[in-house]
């Protein structure tokens, strides 16, 4: 039986670190499931690591759905978190229609990028039975506005806004939120102020869980990798051992250490 949203919420209460990796195919889904990965993110980063684009912008909801269905077929335990791609949640009703499509095809939860601005959309979805994961800090779908992948929360105003965003998502009904690319102390502040789990990616060791792109942590993606992307295949004898080591280090709280944090 798959982990439920309520079980993920309990993991924060019990200080049981949540393990998450991106997953896009049946073979890896079976392996990750067997090694105890708690959540699969069917992420729009597949546009870069699988489709070869230079951003996540071209990814469609049909792309997400195709890869999600591949992962569902060979896994039994992991919660399935599906990204809502760029342009699929411009307003509550369109977001609802797209989220329903993913949920009816097997998603356990959907993920939206953004802070206060998407809170009304999250409320609309949650009120209609759709669990939602937020995503604040660096939001890759905004690359055409930001121009680059910059560290967030570098000054007092930015930190205050990130905390405000996190609280807004929680109030809107989000069940958890991803914190991306921010100093460790900022990730800690947000995590301490939220009752819902935080999942860090470049946000330090104090988050309630961690996520990496599978292609980064196996050192497969050919482009330059961010500082937080530890190569877990190095020093381990197989991909299976690398996944096992990732789970072990996240659960113990030894990843990320200062070498993979800001």
Cα–Cα distance measured from residue 45 to residue 89, given in angstroms and rounded to the nearest whole number: 17
The length of the chain in residues reads 262
Q: 147 burial class (0-12, 13-18, 19+ CB within 10 angstroms)?
A: exposed
Q: 82 burial class (0-12, 13-18, 19+ CB within 10 angstroms)?
A: buried
Structure-token match 């993110």, residue found: 41
Beta bridge partners of 228: none
Give the relative orientation of helices 119-126 and 156-172 as an angle to the nearest 10 degrees: 20
Tokens in use for 222?
Answer: 């050919």
> Of 10, 157, 160, 180, which is the active-site residue?
180
Is 35 a residue of the active site?
A: no
88-91: long-range contacts, CB 8 A cutoff, minimum separation 24 = 88/61, 89/118, 89/121, 91/121
Cα–Cα distance measured from residue 29 to residue 37, given in angstroms and rounded to the nearest whole number: 9
Which residues are known catalytic residues? Answer: 180
């Amino acid at each position: 039986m798959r982990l439920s949203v309520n079980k993920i919420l309990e993991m924060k209460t019990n200080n049981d670190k949540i393990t998450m990796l991106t997953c896009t195919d049946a073979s890896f889904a079976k392996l990750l499931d067997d090694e105890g990965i708690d959540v699969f993110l069917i992420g729009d980063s597949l546009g870069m690591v699988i489709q070869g684009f230079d951003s996540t912008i071209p990814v469609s909801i049909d792309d997400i759905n195709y890869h999600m269905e591949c992962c569902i077929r060979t896994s039994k335990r992991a919660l399935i978190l599906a990204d809502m791609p760029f342009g699929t949640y411009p307003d509550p009703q369109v977001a609802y229609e797209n989220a329903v499509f993913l949920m009816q095809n097997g998603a356990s939860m959907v993920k939206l990028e953004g802070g206060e601005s998407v809170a009304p959309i999250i409320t609309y979805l949650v009120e209609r039975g759709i669990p939602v994961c937020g995503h604040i800090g660096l939001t890759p779908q905004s690359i055409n506005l930001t121009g680059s992948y910059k560290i967030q929360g570098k000054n007092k105003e930015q930190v205050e806004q990130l905390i405000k965003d996190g609280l807004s998502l929680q109030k809107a009904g989000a069940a958890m939120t991803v914190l991306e690319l921010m100093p460790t102390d900022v990730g800690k502040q947000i995590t301490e102020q939220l009752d819902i789990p935080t999942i860090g990616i470049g946000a330090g060791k104090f988050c309630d869980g961690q996520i990496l792109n599978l292609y980064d942590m196996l050192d497969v993606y050919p482009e330059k990798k961010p500082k937080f992307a530890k190569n877990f295949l190095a020093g381990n004898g197989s991909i299976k051992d690398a996944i096992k080591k990732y789970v072990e280090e996240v659960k113990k709280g030894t990843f990320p250490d200062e070498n993979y944090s800001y």
